[in-house]
């Protein structure tokens, strides 16, 4: 079995009175701009998803939102370091090793 890389945290955010979240953000905190202000749509944290990369987190997010399956950007290509398929034109994060294109 491969060495598994630590999973990353993603959080789903939305407006305080919404029934469902409206965005998925990498990390534990809300989306912030370069000047440090918080995106006004991030009023309430709905839930946490832990996944190996952005594409996996989006697949789970789409399931929970009741949407069609998530379609990653670009075609899957082989990771130059470990050989698994990943989306170099999407997040560029390999799910299996620390490679990031």
- Nearer to Zn ion among residue 71 and residue 100 (C-beta): 100
End-to-end alpha-carbon separation of the chain, Å? Answer: 24
Q: Does 79 bind Zn ion (CB under 5 A)?
A: yes
Q: Does 81 bind Zn ion (CB under 5 A)?
A: yes
DSSP string computed for 37-55: PBPTT-SEEEEEEEESSHH
Q: Does 78 bind Zn ion (CB under 5 A)?
A: no
Longest dimension (CA), the chain: 45
CB of 60 to Zn ion, least distance (A): 20
- Nearer to Zn ion among residue 58 and residue 97 (C-beta): 97
Cβ contact 61:12 at 8 Å:
yes
Q: Does 52 bind Zn ion (CB under 5 A)?
A: no
CB of 38 to Zn ion, least distance (A): 33
CA 9 – CA 27 distance, rounded (Å): 5
Applying CB under 5 A, the site for Zn ion has a residue count of 7
- Nearer to Zn ion among residue 14 and residue 72 (C-beta): 72
């Amino acid at each position: 079995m491969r060495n598994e890389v630590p999973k990353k945290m993603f959080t789903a955010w939305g407006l305080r009175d919404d029934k469902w979240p409206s965005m998925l953000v990498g990390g534990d905190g809300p989306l912030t701009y370069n000047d440090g202000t918080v995106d006004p749509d991030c009023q309430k944290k709905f839930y946490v998803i832990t996944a190996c990369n952005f594409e996996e987190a989006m697949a789970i997010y789409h399931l929970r939102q009741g949407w069609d399956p998530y379609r990653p950007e670009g075609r899957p290509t082989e990771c130059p370091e470990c050989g698994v398929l990943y989306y170099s034109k999407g997040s560029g994060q390999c799910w299996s090793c620390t490679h990031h294109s």
